[in-house]
Amino acid sequence: MAGARDDSYAELGRRWPLVLAAASGVSLASVTSASLGVMIEPIERDLGWTRTQITLGPSLVPLIVMVLSTGGGLLIDRFGPRLVGLSAATAFCAGLASFSLIGDHLWQWWGLWALIGVASATMPTVWLTPVSMIFTKGKGLAVALVLSGSGISTTLVPILANAQVQESGWRSAYLLISAIWFAIVMTLLILFFRVGRAPKSQPTEGAAKSAQTSETLPGFTAREGFRQASFWKLGIGAFLSMSAGVALILNLVPVLRSTGLTPTTAASIAGLLGIATIVGRVFGGWLLDRFSAAAIASVSAAGCSLLPVLLLTMAGSVPVAAGAVAVYGLLGGAKVPAVAYLASRHFGQRAFGTLYGAINTSIAFGVGAGPLVANMVYDSTSSYEIVMLVAVPFMLVAAICYGLLGRYPDFDRAENGNSAAS
């Protein structure tokens, strides 16, 4: 056990620049969701749109991702994550900055969200693919560290956006955030986001794996993967947990305000989510290399239901709201890398981009449908109470799906058997 632990830390020590660059890409993908809760009310006041109309914009992103993510996975498998990642990050930042230029025409708002949706079609698969290929002993921790990038956005963006909205308005806030993230993310991607190759005389294990063709990598083909029960359990569980969770998290500031909290208090508590998410992802990654990933995902999904339960039963309490958000961040932070880790172990590397891209399709559908339905309910009832009530069973059923995944396939044995037969 100690030797495996040392190997995982040594592997991370060699590859930390790649992890840092991939985490920055994940943080970029979370900027829009982290900022919308702060932006939605000033946009509603300034442009006279309803929350359903406003939320329809970001809801287009996961719907577009749902259509394009499997194809995006194919692009990653064909052209490599570096080229695809740099292109996607550039288009994403351009769309985000352009929000500062829109008028009062809804089609402009929706059109820019569509652009962001196209740019997001390969996320987070594009950031996880090189990590899945290169890391072996410390894959769980590496995946968790990459996905913890979203916690950086969730921590900083609500605070930065709220301060800039108060100072100069929501347009200036979008411009500032896009400029900051573009400068940081593109620098890290250009410098470090690559699957390195060692000299032929001294190939490393990771470089040897990266040089393999998809036909020789262990794992299911895309067709085989789509027939596995584990694929459907992961997809359904991811949809249910993400649709319920994002319905609350994307609207976290207005949800907290609906319980009686002030805008500044709500934004500050929303910032706690990011810190807790980072801790949850890192600790969850540590657990993934030592315990059952299915159990971690199941317990985390069930525990996330505490957020709506506590907000409903103890509305208006700042300590309870802060504690509930922190617990959600810790458990949700552990759940997301567990799902990515489960996909890599159940599907293997041969068609990981395609199969995880398809799982990301179900996630995208949940991310799009959840917030849109939540704000349709709000526009009809002026309350998020029904949304919180429905979120609880969604999260519990997701926990059951994760818990029923079963054992990992033994791809090494299957590969050895095929070699012997030939």
Task: Give the least confident one: 12-21, 90-99, 138-147, 187-196.
Answer: 138-147
Task: Give the least confident one: 42-46, 348-352, 357-361.
Answer: 348-352
At 204 the pLDDT is 41
pLDDT at 287 over 50: yes
Q: For residues 374-389, give the mean pLDDT.
A: 89
Render pLDDT for 186-217 as a digit per residue (tens, 0 to 9). 999 999 987 754 334 344 444 444 444 455 66
At 216 the pLDDT is 60
pLDDT at 363 over 50: yes
Task: Give the least confident one: 4-13, 31-40, 325-334.
Answer: 4-13
Residue 161 lies in a domain: yes
Q: For residues 290-312, give the mean pLDDT.
A: 89
| φ, ψ dihedrals at 217, nearest 5° | -75, 145
Q: For residues 69-85, give the mean pLDDT.
A: 84
Q: What value does the mean pLDDT of the chain take?
A: 82
At 197 the pLDDT is 44
Q: For residues 100-106, give the mean pLDDT.
A: 90
Residue 292 lies in a domain: yes
At 180 the pLDDT is 94
At 145 the pLDDT is 83
At 24 the pLDDT is 92
At 208 the pLDDT is 45
Q: For residues 296-312, give the mean pLDDT.
A: 91
At 98 the pLDDT is 94
Count of structural domains, the chain: 1
Pick 206 or 163 by higher pLDDT: 163
Residue 205 lies in a domain: no
At 219 the pLDDT is 67
At 210 the pLDDT is 44
Q: In the structure, what pLDDT confidence band is assigned to residue 134 with cuts at 50, 70 and 90?
A: confident
pLDDT at 400 over 90: yes
Q: For residues 389-404, give the mean pLDDT.
A: 92
Q: For residues 359-364, give the mean pLDDT.
A: 79
Pick 417 or 243 by higher pLDDT: 243
At 257 the pLDDT is 87
pLDDT at 83 over 60: yes
Pick 296 or 140 by higher pLDDT: 296
pLDDT at 142 over 60: yes
pLDDT at 116 over 50: yes
What percentage of the chain reaches a pLDDT higher than 90?
Answer: 27
The residue range of the domain holding 98 is 15-193+217-421
Residue 10 lies in a domain: no
pLDDT at 347 over 60: yes
At 306 the pLDDT is 92
Residue 77 lies in a domain: yes
At 69 the pLDDT is 73
Secondary structure (H, E, C), the chain: CHHHHHHHHHHHHHHHHHHHHHHHHHHHHCHHHHHHHHHHHHHHHHHCCCHHHHHHHHHHHHHHHHHHHHHHHHHHHHHCHHHHHHHHHHHHHHHHHHHHHCCCCHHHHHHHHHHHHHHCCCCCHHHHHHHHHHCCCCHHHHHHHHHCHHHHHHHHHHHHHHHHHHHHCHHHHHHHHHHHHHHHHHHHHHHHCCCCCCCCCCCCHHHHHHHCCCCCCCECCHHHHHCCHHHHHHHHHHHHHHHHHHHHHCCHHHHHHHCCCCHHHHHHHHHHHHHHHHHHHHHHHHHHCCCCHHHHHHHHHHHCCHHHHHHHHCCCCHHHHHHHHHHHHHHHHHHHHHHHHHHHHHHECCCHHHHHHHHHHHHHHHHHHHHHHHHHHHHHHCCCHHHHHHHHHHHHHHHHHHHCCCCCCCHHHHHHHHHHHC
CATH number of the domain encompassing residue 278: 1.20.1250.20
Q: For residues 231-242, give the mean pLDDT.
A: 89
Q: In the structure, what pLDDT confidence band is assigned to residue 354 with cuts at 50, 70 and 90?
A: confident
Residue 203 lies in a domain: no
pLDDT at 107 over 80: yes
Residue 300 lies in a domain: yes
pLDDT at 352 over 80: no
Residue 23 lies in a domain: yes
